[in-house]
Structure formats: structure tokens, C-alpha cells
Homo-oligomer: A and B are copies of this chain.
Amino acid sequence: MVYNKTEKILEKQQLRSQKIIKAVREILSEKDMGKVSIKSIAQKAGIATGTFYLYFADKETLIDTVVQEIYQELLEHIKNERAQYSNGFDKLQATMEVCIQLFMKEKHLAKTVLVDVPQKNTALNSKYTYIENDLIRLAKIDIDELMDKQLIPKQDTLVSAIAFVGAFREVILSWISTGEPLDSELAQKTLIEYNMRALGRYII
């Protein structure tokens, strides 16, 4: 019984935590991005402001958690998609494609992940491992492999991976801000080819 009770309680706590996190994400996703105050979060989560502090130490902890969750989700998506390909080029391309899809569908999430979070973590203040780093790591693995197989020229693969992600990030953000370009297909093709070409794929 006791065990059960504990389990139930833990479950309930989980639920509450999730509710709070969901509330934050909803607020972050709102078009006009309402105030991200504890009060508004609690309101959206349907709890009292004080209750918040039973689940999270403080506001910062909450934000950290939300960010982690978002990251995990995104990486999950990417990994699933990549799993279908064995070729390094294809994997990179698939990564970009899934990211484009996801980000364009959830623009505010993209903003949070690509802008709001990193901005709090620049320079030596890198408290999180953020999505960009994860993406870079993934990209680097592929690029390393391609270089090993001599499919691309010798290069500082870390730099390339960073550039790869950076080019991608900037374009996505511009689309989020100004709306996707009219010829969306050409635009996406340009972006993908930009990065693929940049790696230096040998033309056979």
C-alpha cells in the first residue's frame, strides 16, 4: 500500500510538473508571447503560484527543464529520421530536412531553441548543452566519416560542422522572422545544397 501510495504520489507529481512545463511551452508558443511570469505560468497550469515552488526550486530551474525537454524531443526526431540512411551525405541532408519541417511547423519553439536559449548561454557561460551543440556533434560525426572515406577534402571537421549548423540556423531564423520565401522549394533546395556543396563533395 505504501509503495502504491508513493507511486501514485510520484505519478501525480510528474503530472503536475508536466502541466507546468506545458504551460510554459504554451506561453512561449503564443503569437504575442505573453509575460513569462510565475503568475501567468501558474494560471495557465491551473495551479496557485505558491504551488509552483513545490515542483521547481525557482524560475530558472523551470526554464532549464523546459529547454532540456524541447531539446530531447528534437533530437529524438532527428535520430529517427537519420536512422533510415547509411550514407553520410544522406544523413546530413535528412537531418536538415527534418529540422526544416519541424521548425517551420513550430516556429515559436524554433525561436526558443535557436534564439532565446542560446542567448542565455553564450561565451563562457555555457551552463546548458544546447541543441546547437548536439546538432553540431551529430554533423561532425557524419563529416568525419565522409572525410575518412575521402569523399570530401581534408578540413577541420569541427569548424565545418559548426558552420553547417550555423548556416542552417540563420536561414531558418530568417524564415521565422520574415516568413518563408515565395519560392519555398527553391529556397529550401538552396539551403540544403549550400551546406552540401560547402562540405566539398567530390564531383564524380
Contact (A176, B123) CB under 8 Å given A156-B187, A169-B166, A195-B163: yes
Measured between beta carbons, the chain B residues less than 8 angstroms from A197 are 197-200
Query: Which of B166, B168, B181, B200 lies in contact with A171, CB distance below 8 A?
Result: B166
How many angstroms between the C-alpha atoms of A159 and B200 in the bound complex?
19
Interface residues on A, range: 35 or more
Measured between beta carbons, the chain B residues less than 8 angstroms from A195 are 163, 198
What is the copy number of this chain in the assembly?
Answer: 4
How many angstroms between the C-alpha atoms of A159 and B173 in the bound complex?
11
A27 → chain B closest CB, angstroms? 14
Residue of B nearest to A184 (CB): B156
Measured between beta carbons, the chain B residues less than 8 angstroms from A191 are 159, 163
Known contacts A31-B123, A111-B122, then 9 further A-B pairs from the complex at CB < 8 Å, ordered by chain A residue: A115-B118, A119-B119, A123-B177, A159-B187, A160-B194, A162-B171, A162-B174, A163-B167, A167-B170
